[in-house]
Amino acid sequence: MMKLYARAGWGSVIAEAQLAWYGLAHTLEPVGDLFADDSARDALEGINPLAQIPTLVLDDGTVMTESAAITLHLADLAAETSLVPGPDAHERADFLNALVFLVANVYPTYTYGDVPARFVPAPEGRAGFRETVDAHGKRLYRILEQQASGSRAAGPWFLGGRLTAVDIYLGAMTFWRPGRDWFDAETPRLAAIGRAVRAHDRFGDVWTRNFPDEMAG
Ligand SMILES: N[C@@H](CCC(=O)N[C@@H](CS)C(=O)NCC(=O)O)C(=O)O
């Protein structure tokens, strides 16, 4: 059975939501706070040298450490195009572009911003670094907002009429920095997509288990 290394509210939710959506058998392996707990990092590093989640171990022991690759592979395993538009779908190119934009541009703003001390040796430089990285993150979300509001995207989801795995990323990320209030005010389309995907009943209790406080409020 597949094993997903997971921590509530962290990036593992992106893979967890897809496993739930497809009904693919898996177990969850709890991971400690990777920023606060060295033993949690040490334990995960044995499987994923970057000590990041999602980390997904497939049935044959293959380890996947990249959420976009996991997204594409789970669609193959499920033999469904319900979250990943197939080669002939007109949304395919926009989907792939948004997926890679999320992991190549947006996700690193968390990697670098979460604990600036890992990247900025001088303590006096850290606050400014964090501010700059966060500002870059906001710029990236504004670009996504424009795309989600474009004429090709008329509809409840990022790509318009059909839900895709990109919406799952937004379901998680709109609960992360810069925070729900910012998304509501500055990127209302992204905020609405996040709410809609979290309300979809095919995910079961994934969202409430991952974000109990946020989902309650
Ligand atoms: N490229 C990875 C990034 C995953 C990632 O950064 N996950 C965060 C949790 S939201 C993490 O594990 N951070 C710990 C760290 O970077 O040390 C992906 O897209 O799956």
* Percent of the residues in the chain that have a pLDDT greater than 90, as a whole number: 96
d(CA 156, CA 167): 10
Contact at 8 Å (CB) between 190 and 141?
A: yes
Residue of 29, 66, 102, 107 with the most ligand 1 atoms within 8 Å of its CB, for mutation = 107
Could you give the residue ranges of the DSSP H alpha helices within the chain? 12-22, 38-45, 67-78, 92-101, 107-114, 123-149, 165-173, 180-186, 188-199, 206-210, 212-216
Q: Over the chain, what is the mean pLDDT?
A: 97
Same domain, 74 and 96: no
Domain boundary among 49, 78, 107: 78
Look up the CATH number of the domain holding residue 47.
3.40.30.10
* CA dihedral angle for residue 206, residue 210, residue 216, residue 217, rounded to 10 degrees: -130
Q: Model confidence over 151-205: pLDDT tens digits?
A: 666 779 999 999 999 999 999 999 999 999 999 999 999 999 999 999 999 999 9
201 alpha carbon to ligand 1 midpoint, in Å? 26
Quick check: helix, strand or coil at residue 90? coil
Q: What is the mean pLDDT of residues 117-127?
A: 98
Look up the CATH number of the domain holding residue 169.
1.20.1050.10
Q: Which domain holds residue 109?
A: 92-204
Same domain, 133 and 59: no
Residue from 97, 179, 99, 186 nearest 149 by CA: 186
Does residue 8 form part of some domain?
Answer: yes
Q: Edge-to-edge strands of the sheet including 2-6?
A: 26-30, 2-6, 55-57, 63-64
88 alpha carbon to ligand 1 midpoint, in Å? 31
Q: Model confidence over 71-114: pLDDT tens digits?
A: 999 999 999 999 999 999 999 999 999 999 999 999 999 999 99
Same domain, 35 and 114: no
pLDDT at 151: 63
Does residue 212 form part of some domain?
Answer: no
* Percent of the residues in the chain that have a pLDDT greater than 70, as a whole number: 99
d(CA 205, CA 216): 13
Same domain, 66 and 159: no
Residue type for position 57: V
Residue 157 DSSP one-character state = B
Whether residue 10 has its Cβ less than 6 Å from ligand 1: yes
198 alpha carbon to ligand 1 midpoint, in Å? 21
d(CA 104, CA 210): 24
